Every structure is written in structure tokens, then in C-alpha cells.
Homo-oligomer: A and B are copies of this chain.
Amino acid sequence: MTKEIGITVKKSDDFSEWYTQCVLKSSIADYSPSKGFIILRPYGYAIWEIVKELLDCELKKTGHKNGFLPVLIPESLLTKEKDHFDGFMPEVFWVTKSGDSDLDEKLAVRPTSETLAYSMFSKWISSYRDLPLKLNFWNSALRAEIKSTKPLIRNSEFLWQEGHTAHDDENGADKEVRMILDIYKNLIEEFLALPTLSGFKTDKEKFVGANYTTCLESIMADGKALQMATSHNLGQNFSKPFEIKFLNKETVEQYVWQTSWGISWRVIGAIIMVHGDDKGLILPPKIAPTQVIIVPIYKDDSKTVVKQKAFELEQILIDSKIRAQTDDRDEYTSGWKFNDWEMKGVPLRINMGLRDMKENQVEFVRRDTKERFYVKEKELVNQVMSTLEDIQSNMFDRAESHFQANIRSASTLDELLSVLDTAGGFVACSWCGKRECEDLIKEKTTADIRIVPFSPKNNISACIGCGEGETKEVYFGRAY
């Protein structure tokens, strides 16, 4: 592999350029001709399909059903909840024409579907028997991003799911919000091997139109914070303007309580940022489209027999539900293949040549630790399984160490600024809860309150902004 084909910068030297090269060169994604938009190539889409399948299964288990909503939303619907509209308005794409004709009413290209979904909820819900209504939509959302776009992290269109539920009381909505956040947290930690912190957004940072927003926040390898998923309690803020009412068992008319929540392909960006190294991606086995790549090593005279053996092993692994693949391309050298699969982040490589065959063994090469060792053929399936498990837990442990090491604290504004400038990460501070202080700190440090943790460490002192008042522990960070 020539220099231009592999990753040409170190992760520690130029993180941003390293990330972009990882995304493009490993064939995860590519730029679309329209500025701010990207295309997900098969390798990236295969990761998304696995993540989607895992989450979809959990959502169905917990009683959610999928549906489809149109991508175009009439302006009159979008404006019905004022805060919501004001929040999204600057980044909405508008359809104003069809063919050569002007439309009577502008249509928004879906920035999110609350308004459209809830205009339907009011038709579908009339009795307590219709509740809870728990729907989910796998689609894309569009928000015009003009500055600092970054593939998978910030684009004008992104793949996600949006869940929308309606409940017969506030408690039902509260429970739903937390259950969904737990499902997200389990998905992200257990399968994506990414540690996260759970908590609330401040009123300033919450979803426009929500009573409160809960979220999962993580820290990338460069110390910047990344929001991984959000789950909102909408209270009756939408059910009132959209008149989503039901008759309860006592035949009293009430407005429903609602939630909405989403997770996007951004998590693929986080996997790359957190786990990758100078050679490229390192994918957690549980979400790697190819978990094991088998590279047969042969000369012209041993080609047939070695390839045949490789396919045999591949089949044995596939029969054990392991996503294995053989790279038998003659037009590339073994060395080129090694580099290519390393860049793509396949967790485990198996090398095998004629000599190995005679010894009834193959060589394992771990992507995470670069360890190499021989495994007897009869041990193949067990060894692959245990090695993949080991890689998965090692990757989480490594990420968790980095995560914990990047949670610091500060008790003055100067200290906060200095920690942010030298190390980044999350900085635990005491905050009085006032918007003025939040704004002041943002102005002086360019950091936001990323999260108000569910489980604070409670090292409470005076507010880092005004030095006054009753305070709570919040985590500041500079974010993507």
C-alpha cells in the first residue's frame, strides 16, 4: 500500500485530518456533490445496518412499532409549536416549487417529525384504549449546516431514528424517557464499546419544545465532547396546540403526555474517533460487518489448495454465526491486503499459508493489540469466539480509561479555562442554575454545560460564574 492509499497523518498530530482520512479512505463515506451532504458507502452502511438491527430489536421488544412519515412537512404544521419552530427555522430547507409551478404553501424538508407525527396522533388517539401509542421511524433528517461540517458528526442530512410516544399520564412519559435512554446507553456501551455519561440538558441546551431533555455524552480522543443520543419529555407542550386528547376511563377528556427521542449515524463517527489508531479504524467485534478476515498466503503453485482451505475455514466460521470473509483477490499482494483490512478496522485477521496447513494451524492477528499467535485448526471456532470477546472488552476498557482520565474538575473560571485549553474533556463545576452564568461562561471559555449528571459526585462549592447561590454539579466541555 502506497503512502497515499493509507492514512498519512498521526492521530495525535492532526486529529481532524486523521479522522477525515479514516472516514474516506476506509470507504465508510464520501462527500456528495452538494456541500454539507455525505454519502454512506456499503462499508459504512453495513455498520449502520447492524446498529439499526440491534436497536430495532430492543425497541420492538419494548412495544414500539415502526412506521413511515413523508419527508415534506407543510409550513403551517411546523409553526404550530412556536419555540420548536423558532429553534429549527434557521436550518430548515424549504421546497417552494414543483416542476415549474410555485407551491401554494412552502414545504419543509423534515428537520424532525414532531409536528407531522402529532397532527396524526390527534386523529388516531381518542380513548385511553389507544394509549400508550409508541411509534418509531427510521429515516433521515435535514438541517442546513453551513459551517464546520464533519462527515457523520455534522452534516446537512443524517440517518437516524426518531421515536414518538403518547401516554395517559406524566409518569408514563417520564418512565418512557428513562427507559429509552437506558436502551441507548446499553447499545452504545455494550455493542459500540463507548463509555457515556447520563444526565439532563440545561434549559438552554434542551430540545426546543421539551419540558426536559436527557442525554448521553461522551468524550472523543481529542478531548472534545460529543452528544451521543437524546430522549425528551415533551409534557403537554405539543398535545395542547395539536389537540391530542383522549377520554380516560372516567370519560374525562385529557391531553396526552409525550416523549420523543433519537440516535443518529453520528455514533459511527464516535466509534472511529475513540477507537481508531494511526493505521485507521478499529471496529468493536459486535458491530463489525466483517469480524474475521481470512488472508490466504500463496504462490502460483499453492494457490488452489490454500484458497480452498481458506474458504473451508470461512464456512466453518459462518456456520457458527461469525461474520467471516476470505480475501482471495489475486490482483493484490498479501501485504497490501494486511494494510487494507487494518485500515478498515477488521477486529481479527487470520493468515494462513501452505506451511500453516501442514501444521494444522493458522495465525491470528488482533487489530486492537497487534498481538499475533498461532491457533490449532481444531480450536478455530472457540478461539475466534473468545478472541473476539476479548477484543470487545479490551476496547471498552481502553475507552473507559481514557474517558475517566478526561473527567476533571475546576472551582474557578480561570481554572476551568486552563483545564479546557490544556486537556479538554469534561470539567465538573458547581453552577447556580442561572442562565446568565451559563451564558457568561460560554462567552469566556466557548464551553457549554454538556450535562447535568444523574449521578453527581456532589463536590459542591460556590457557582463558578457568580460565586453565589445553591449550586449543583454540572459538566462543562467544548463540543463538536
Contact of A39 with B by CB under 8 A: yes
Q: Are A39 and B67 in contact (CB under 8 A)?
A: yes
Q: Which of B68, B91, B129 contacts A99 (CB 8 A)?
A: B91
Contact of A462 with B by CB under 8 A: no
Known interface pairs A95-B95, A96-B97. Does A120 touch B159 (Cβ–Cβ under 8 Å)? no
Q: Are A91 and B95 in contact (CB under 8 A)?
A: no
Q: How far is the CA of A460 from the CA of B69 in the complex (A)?
A: 49
Q: Are B30 and A46 in contact (CB under 8 A)?
A: no
Residues of chain B lying within 8 A (CB to CB) of residue A407: none
Contact of A41 with B by CB under 8 A: yes
Instruction: Identify the stretch in A71-79, A196-204, A379-387 within 8 Å (CB) of chain B at 4 or more residues.
Output: A71-79
Which residue in chain B gives the minimum CB-CB distance to A129? B331
Q: How far is the CA of A34 from the CA of B73 in the complex (A)?
A: 7
Contact of A49 with B by CB under 8 A: yes
Residues of chain B lying within 8 A (CB to CB) of residue A74: 33-34
Residues of chain B lying within 8 A (CB to CB) of residue A71: 71, 109, 140, 142, 157
Q: How far is the CA of A19 from the CA of B98 in the complex (A)?
A: 28
Contact of A335 with B by CB under 8 A: no
State the A residues within 8 Å of B (CB): 30, 32-34, 37-42, 44-46, 48-49, 65-74, 77, 89-100, 106-107, 109, 116, 119-120, 123-124, 129, 135, 140, 142, 144, 146, 156-157, 159, 329, 331
Provide the main secondary structure of the chain A interface: mixed
Closest Cβ of chain B to A36, distance in Å, is 9
Counting chain B CB atoms within 10 Å of each CB, the highest count among A44, A72, A120, A157 belongs to A72
Q: How far is the CA of A99 from the CA of B48 in the complex (A)?
A: 29
Q: Which of B39, B77, B93 contacts A97 (CB 8 A)?
A: B93
Q: Are A99 and B107 in contact (CB under 8 A)?
A: no
Residues of chain B lying within 8 A (CB to CB) of residue A44: 67-68
Further contacts, 16 of them, CB under 8 A, given A34-B107, A39-B69: A33-B119, A39-B70, A42-B67, A45-B68, A68-B159, A70-B157, A71-B109, A89-B99, A91-B99, A93-B98, A93-B107, A94-B96, A95-B95, A97-B106, A98-B146, A109-B109
